[in-house]
Amino acid sequence: MHQQEKETRTLNDFHESLKLLSGKLNKAEYSFVAGVLFRCLMGSRFGYHDHDQRILQDIHSIWVKNRDKVVKSKKKVFKLKVVKGGKNEK
């Protein structure tokens, strides 16, 4: 794979990740995560070292621990409108 193709694919993966986040997070949450991603790009390590496999373990364990909370909080609320003239009305 050429360097330009690799960079384009990676950039597209980054953009797709941002699109996914934008559909799942509110503005404040999205800004927080985007800021963390930017800080990673700028060299922040957040306590991890180069090639530190602990980050993958932490990513997985945090997802497992918190996934039920996300499912419960994403319930849809529907507003119902009462319409006169239904079949039970005389």
Using 50, 70 and 90 to split pLDDT, how confident is the model at 84?
confident
* Whether the Cβ atoms of residue 48 and residue 55 lie closer than 8 Å to each other: yes
Distance in angstroms (rounded) separating the CA atoms of residues 34 and 30: 6
Q: Who has greater pLDDT, 29 or 11?
A: 29
Read off the pLDDT of each residue in 56-72 and give the average, rounded to a whole number: 85
* Whether the Cβ atoms of residue 21 and residue 9 lie closer than 8 Å to each other: no
